[in-house]
Structure formats: structure tokens, C-alpha cells
Amino acid sequence: MLTYPQIDPILFSVGPVAIRWYGLMYVFGFAASYLLVKKQIQEHQQNALAENFDDLNLFLILAVVLGGRLGYVLFYNPGYYFSHPTEIVATWQGGMSFHGACLALPLVGWWFCRRRRLDFWMTADLYAATVPIGLGLGRIGNFLNGELYGRVTDVPWAMVFPDGGPWPRHPSQLYESLLEGIALFLLLWLNREKPWQGRLPHGAILALFLIGYGLIRMVVENFRQPDAQLGFLFGFTTMGQLLSCGMICCGLVIWWFRRNVMVARRP
């Protein structure tokens, strides 16, 4: 069994303002996505997108924060937050849902692209290829907070988490960081040029992200402790698996739709 590192979740504080590792991971994730998307825009000389880039990023950051928080409220603990509505804005207490952010991002992105007359599918691909970086960093933030830990196990690398009782558990946050972060990023980044080469349609990287993340999350949920207020749904599955199944279906539909569009346009 490994020893859980006792790391203060607060990096430093100035008066009442505290800088937390978890929030810092969001900043690092946004910064990495910004730089990598900008790199792709320059490589492919997307001047129209470059002119709207900063405005688009602002809207997408808001979509991540608001969608992630509202997703957690609605998907994971609606009863509590409807009874304590003032705590919905208390994001510093934890509680963000990637599935909520994942729902908000394409909706906001589509709305923005339509208003500015940008190609939504091309733009979505540029961003989708970078999202796993933020996911991987976010899971490290979860690990440092000692939250979203795994199920009880006897594997040699199990850890006893501060709020997980006296039992050794899977460090499932690290599993997710490796798979949702590093592995998924490599898959998407190594295939990002194929739509520009005509080997895949624009929108394929977005579809691949949805399918890949959904499959990884469904597997890792088997090692992660279900949320206490929900437990197992229907006696055998978790909310994360249910929402991930929806992601996979959406990804398959986008892949099929965009592939058919590309085939129809060929001479």
C-alpha cells in the first residue's frame, strides 16, 4: 500500500483570498488549450478565427465554469442545491461535472460560430484536440483535494484517503489523469491533421473525443467510488457511466453524419 501524500489543497493565501491547487489546474488547462489552439490556427492560416479568437475563448471559459457547475447541481445533487440555492455559486467547495461542461461547450461554440460566421466543425476540432490536457490536470487537482477517490481494494498501489475511511482505495483520479489526460490527448493530437488532409471530415476529432472519453470514463467508473448521495443507479451502474453512454452515442452520430457529408461532397 502507498501512502497518500498529505498536500495542503491551498497553495497560498493572502488575507481572505486563497489560491487552491484545484483552481490552479483549471488555469493551467485553459492556458495550454489557448496556446495549442492558437498554434493550430497559425499553422492552417485561419485568419477569420484568429480575429475572433480571444472573444471565443472568453465565452468557452464561461461555458466550462457555468456548465460544469450547473451539470453537477442537476446531475449529481439536485435535491440538496434546490434546498440550498445560495450554495450553487460556492464552487470553491468543490462540485464540477465534466459532462455538464461538455454539454455547454459545443452549444456555446455553435452559437458563437454562427454569429461570427465561422466554421463550427473545424473550430470544434481545434479545441477538442486540446481538451484532454485540462481533464488530466483537473484529475490531479481532485487527487490533491483527496476527493473522487476509488473503491476499496487490496492492490499494492492502493491508498487511504483522508475522507475515505480507514480502507485502502484505488487512486482512481490518477487512472483518469493518465487515460482521460495523456492517452486521450495523444490519440487526438496525433490525428488532428487528418481532417485538413482530407482523410477525415472536420468534426471527426470532436466525435473521436466524445467516443474516446466516454469509453474511458465508463471503464474507470468501475474503480471509482460512486457519489454517496446517488450510489448505484438501477443497482449496477453510475451516473458517470450513464452520462458517458450518452457522450458515446453523440460521438457516433457526429462521426456518421460528418462522414456522410464528406462522401457526398466527393466528385
pLDDT tens sequence across 174-229: 999 999 999 999 999 999 999 999 999 999 999 999 999 999 999 999 999 998 78
pLDDT digits (tens, 9 = 90+) for 119-168: 999 999 999 999 999 999 999 999 998 989 999 999 999 999 998 999 99
Beta strand extents in the chain (DSSP E only): 10-14, 17-20
| 150 DSSP β-pair partners | 224
Q: Which residues pair with 19 in a beta bridge?
A: 12
Contact between residue 58 and residue 80 where contact means Cβ atoms under 8 Å apart: no
Q: Is the pLDDT of residue 93 over 90?
A: no
Residue percentage of the chain with pLDDT more than 90: 71
Q: Give the pLDDT of residue 92.
A: 63
- Rounded to two decimals, what is the model's pTM? 0.92
Max mean pLDDT among 14-18, 86-90, 110-114 falls in 110-114
Q: What is the DSSP string of 77-104?
A: -HHHHHHSGGGGG-GGG----HHHHHHH
- Answer whether 37's CB lies under 8 Å from 124's CB: no
Section 43-68 average pLDDT: 95
The dihedral over CA atoms of 246, 129, 171, 216, expressed in degrees to the nearest 10, equals 40
Mapped onto helix, strand or coil, the DSSP state of residue 166 is coil
Which residues sit opposite 43 in a β-bridge?
Answer: none
